[in-house]
Chains A and B, each alone.
Chain A
């Protein structure tokens, strides 16, 4: 397919990339291109300048910070998450979820930064990062800032990354023995989620985020409060999830009515929390 004319640049440093993004109106960062190239074909996006991040090696790294945060560069691919020993040790749920995104070819090219910056409400990583209390590092001409996951996702296709800025990495706090879970219902075995839920469960508390039910991931705050100090038995989790659906205002579409999504939100949240609780270390 013939795309609209576009200019292309391939900076070799993050600073250069930010300069290019700031200098050119209508410039967009190009990560793996597994969404952007397709929306350019559909003319749903028509950037004037593509700033390809391919040569920015520091954005491709996975490692630990001095204070024990798992740091994932924005250009890390899903395939890299799946084979990373750091991810396996610190937050294995990331590898599990990455393995269910798209297909082999998409996982070889698609990136963590692309997934969260596209901020499609059906993407897998946004609710997961909200549940894991991730921090997003954003760099711009004025310097670097860190945004918590609860503030990173702003709307459909909108994040805290402003024009002329670049997401450089996503950092996850040490689990401290917490277990993580992810559950949902897809269209077909490997298709897009109708509703998904992510949970991170510690000794006495849980963080739970629901995806596909709003413009951004929705924290199940009331369920979290009910689970404070809980023994996280199946019965306790199920009872804490009651009325979660009623608190949501999900969309209706060809894959499911709003009512069905409310039901799935409760089912998915229970499954994610039960899975997460069973994976806690040190036992309670």
Chain B
């Protein structure tokens, strides 16, 4: 039987790369991504599970990486905001954020992008209402959300 331990060697696929890493059981996934792997695109906003700035995909689903221990992700496929643009080429979603001025300070943007990307994966042409539900777990304190919603809806309209 697997005895309880304070550390665990986890095997994860992060942005397509297979990684084995020894992590303390108490480490949050967001700190594993940022501090151990240096993937600082994923932000820590509130650290209480409310703001969604730390949203990443675990096995294709949007989750808040501050509400998950790194050891819970053992065996999972993780995607962070760094996986969106390749070779400096923005994805249509990122391009839409740029064109619609969907960010001001930009702190919430990685989480917004990951929530929106998860939505568009399942539902390529979401309505405004569907977009608002999808980003309900992501707080933006600058924009009032209007331009963010417009940007995500616009990606669907072009799809």
Complex Cα distance, B64 from A1, in Å, reads 14
- How many A-B pairs with Cβ below 8 Å? 101
Using a CB-CB cutoff of 8 Å, which residues 46-64 of chain A contact chain B?
49-52, 54
Kindly list chain A residues whose C-beta atoms are within 8 Å of the C-beta of B2: 9-12, 16
Across the interface, name the chain B residue whose C-beta is closest to A9: B4
Kindly list chain B residues whose C-beta atoms are within 8 Å of the C-beta of A105: 52, 55, 62-64, 67, 115, 137
Complex Cα distance, B47 from A241, in Å, reads 43
> B159 contacts the other chain (Cβ, under 8 Å)?
no
A8 touches B5 (CB 8 A): yes
Complex Cα distance, B134 from A74, in Å, reads 25
Interface size band for A: 35 or more
Known: A34-B49, A104-B118, A104-B136. Is A3-B67 also a contact (CB below 8 A)?
A: no
Kindly list chain A residues whose C-beta atoms are within 8 Å of the C-beta of B137: 102-106
Complex Cα distance, B156 from A51, in Å, reads 42
> B1 contacts the other chain (Cβ, under 8 Å)?
yes
Known: A9-B2, A11-B1, A103-B52. Is A33-B67 also a contact (CB below 8 A)?
A: yes
A37 touches B67 (CB 8 A): yes
> B3 contacts the other chain (Cβ, under 8 Å)?
yes
Complex Cα distance, B5 from A26, in Å, reads 14
Known: A16-B1, A41-B47, A49-B4. Is A8-B69 also a contact (CB below 8 A)?
A: yes
Contact with A along B73-100 (1 / 0, CB 8 A): 0100000000000000000000000000
Task: Choose one: A2, A7, A16, A102; the contact of B6 (CB below 8 Å).
Answer: A7
Instruction: Give the 7 A-B CB pairs with smallest separation, nearest first.
Output: A103-B137, A8-B25, A7-B4, A3-B26, A9-B4, A108-B61, A103-B136
Chain B residues within 8 Å of A, Cβ to Cβ: 1-6, 8, 24-28, 47-49, 52, 55, 61-64, 66-69, 71-72, 74, 115, 118-119, 133-134, 136-138
Beyond contacts A104-B137, A109-B63, A109-B67: 17 other A-B pairs, Cβ-Cβ < 8 A, are A4-B26, A5-B25, A6-B26, A8-B25, A10-B2, A11-B1, A38-B48, A38-B67, A51-B4, A52-B71, A103-B137, A104-B133, A105-B52, A105-B55, A105-B115, A106-B67, A109-B68
Give me 29 A-to-B residue pairs in the complex whose CB atoms sit less than 8 angstroms apart, sorted by A's number. A5-B6, A5-B24, A6-B26, A7-B4, A7-B5, A7-B25, A8-B5, A8-B8, A9-B3, A9-B4, A10-B71, A11-B1, A16-B1, A16-B2, A24-B4, A37-B67, A38-B48, A38-B49, A52-B72, A54-B72, A79-B61, A105-B52, A105-B55, A105-B64, A105-B137, A106-B64, A108-B63, A109-B63, A109-B68
